[in-house]
Structure 1
Amino acid sequence: MGINLNESEKENKIFSYEISNEAKSLAEKYGYSDYIVERYIKLLGEEVIDLLEFNEIPMPQTIRCNDFLVSCDELEKRLKNKGIKIQKIPFLPHGYEIIESPYNVGATHEYLMGYYYLQDPGSMLVVYLMNPLKNSFIIDMASAPGGKASQILQLTKDSVKLVSVELKKARIKALRSNLQRMGFSSYVILETDARKLSLKNSDMILLDSPSSGEGIIRKDPKRKRSRPRSDMRKIHLLQYQLLSKAIDIVKPGGEITYAACSTAIEEGEFVIDRVLNKRNVDTIKVDSPIGDKAYEEFNGITFDDRVKNCIRLWPHKHGTEGFFICKLRKEEN
């Protein structure tokens, strides 16, 4: 049973929990930082081995059919004729898994024509759950390399006013290339720190936040040890600042979709808990075909009850990258 603590006490319990001998042993065996494994144990209990073992299996390639340029039936035929075997992902309208391919699927004629985008199922699901509305003003606060931005434009038939924000100049080239390759034009790209945005009154905001990347360990095993524990406070603060800015610039009644490609409480539930206690927002229940309810407590602390409306995706349970997804609505003045 959790207890209610002030913010400083919560931070200490979230960022400074003790590491058990079990976590140290498993971390050494599987090559992780021990604080990550300790968190897994606290969150998953006996399932921790299932996750650690599943993370040893390489991530399959998955694609999103771009039906703005080609029907998915036509794309299926084209890929089949090339000897590329694909399988529909049941819970994603445009999602397919590559079962077998004699070619690099990131270099086919169809890829270069913009007929599909290489994208993880969890990443695709974020935008479906966001449910972008046609003819709306949308800001994508961390846009490169453009997977979710292009999906927003695809689902709205290129009808929205999309502002794609990216801090790093080196990543803007890929962002622009992907949006152009896939046939879209209803966007502008801003090279800036999203925390400094002066835009106002957007209808919807997507914040696929910079994160530790713990959710992509199957794709990038270096993530097992790439972040010292001290980084988690810095990442959490950045995410909180970005989400606070999103609340500032969305219109009253507007929606924010927050996502982090991470299994860390520090980057999910605790970020949402802080904004719920400090800002004029409420959560919207995420109605997803897959996913677990977000955690209501961790290490003896209780989060705001509304955090339970968010969801988590786990690799070993849902076959996706690890993700935290939450929808927020700014309250009317």
Structure 2
Amino acid sequence: MTPDVAVIIPTLRRPESLERAVRSVLAQIGVSDRLKEIVVVDNDPQASSRELTARLAADASIAIIWRHAPRPGVATARNEGLAATSAPFIAFLDDDEAATSGWLAALLDAQSRTGADAVFGPIRGRVPEQTGWTRPYLERFFGRTGLSETRLIDIPHGCGNSLLVRATALPGVAPFSTAADQSGGEDDILFSGLKARGGRFGWAADAWVDEFAPAHRATLRYALTRAFAYGQGPSQTAAAAHDWPTVARWMIIGAGQTVVWGVAALGLSLTGDPRRADMLDRSARGLGKLFWMKGLEPHFYGERELARLERQASS
């Protein structure tokens, strides 16, 4: 069989985790006849991963392609990775993730069995030990669970740990919206369009990856800010389609969630119950549905992340 799968790994100044991610792909089993290449997309203006990628490529049994996307932005990086390969199947792995040895085989098997245009797998969240009482919540937040069986599903997940059929799921030369470069959500926009075209989504129950949250992200404040941004997604998607009745419906739902889960969080806080983190998460997602407007989106990627890294390097 002609190799037909490329794994794209966008990265921004995470050399240790990038190496872990690449080596986890090189250690895949059962896909030697399918895996065509790994594409590392460096989103750092300084091209900091060039030498590391070259070193990994020198010892690899498959091609490792390095591409530079100097304009920081998650959608820009994904589009650059797609431009670097002609593979008909595209798997995405984030640079803070590490795939289990059967990951890609499980994704491909699920796609073959379901005929889905986009397949997603489960994620184990890993956070530093010093996260205290929030650790169980943060592990769930950075993780992803789903069905125990491989099958078609109705609702898509994020691009991290996914396999996409290029011809149907990734239209055009730059399918990821660069409007989401700084805030994220480029995958939400992509999969909303795919769903509108009648696309199908699948779940690969055995396609496990581990996601390692760095210390600056493994905090309740960061997770709740992300939860707020996730909550904005449904309202923003409806607004982009000028579907104002649906926007209004999501805002009403969001207002109710904000109040109900906020009150629950307050009650649990009085007793020190750690479940209050989950209630705060749900309340934050409700608040996001209510305050979805342009200019209120938190920024996690691109220039904001680069600025944080530069401050860290100079301190």
User: Greater share of helix residues, 1 or 2?
Assistant: 2
Please report the TM-score for the alignment, with normalisation by the length of structure 2. Answer: 0.29
Please report the TM-score for the alignment, with normalisation by the length of structure 1. Answer: 0.28
User: Greater share of strand residues, 1 or 2?
Assistant: 1
